[in-house]
Structure 1
Amino acid sequence: MGTMNSPADDDRYAAVHGSAQFKTLRRQSHAFILWASVIFFGWWFLGCALATFAPDFFRQGIGGPMNVGLLFVLLSFAFVVTTSAVYLRYARTRLDPLSERIRADLEGDLR
């Protein structure tokens, strides 16, 4: 059995969606995601371009079985882990407090 949403609840959620706090939360979230995506895909396209147009560069040995191409792939994994950690910290320090304020305003004394 589900709960029934009243029109008043719908109006309340619509008001929150249009509020300045919610717009700030979305803007901050989208700004981080945009820059992280630009940097990551730039790195990825750089790797694809180097592998395509400079394959000899990717084949250069660094030491033992390691070459530049393999190092590039390993750095890509490290970059993903680092980006995830940075986002978690950003969300914890910037996004979560704002979302908690929005939730508290929305729920009032229910929480």
Structure 2
Amino acid sequence: MARFVILEHRWEGVHWDFMLEAGEALRTWALEAPIAFGVAIPARALADHRLAYLEYEGEISRGRGTVRRLDRGTYTAEVWTEDLIRVVLQGDQVRGMAELRRSDIGPSISPLRWIFRLEGKVD
């Protein structure tokens, strides 16, 4: 099964990195708020990250802040397209259906802008 991780990233404020293992990298989104059941959270697509972040906590090189792992586990992809990703998460704290949908909210459509929503359980 593929793995996921949720990191609290403190750098120029705070955001939450949601990372999904995809081959030899982690597809990554920066969420603007902590994950909560049934709440739509604005997200920004980031460059793929190294698999090392599945296990890493601490200082990030070149002064890019610190990360603290909030949850990790496995996932099964239900839908994986250019505009919609729907996965079933089985984490230590987060379990349920997570959806990332490309968003057209805002002044211009951006491939970086997404909405994250979890339908399931957060302990």
Q: Which TM bucket (shorter chain)? A: under 0.3
TM-score, length of structure 2 as denominator length? 0.17
Decide which structure has the larger Cα Rg and report it: 1
More helix by share: 1
Question: Which gives a bigger RCO, structure 1 or 2 (Cα 8 Å, sep 6+)?
Answer: 1
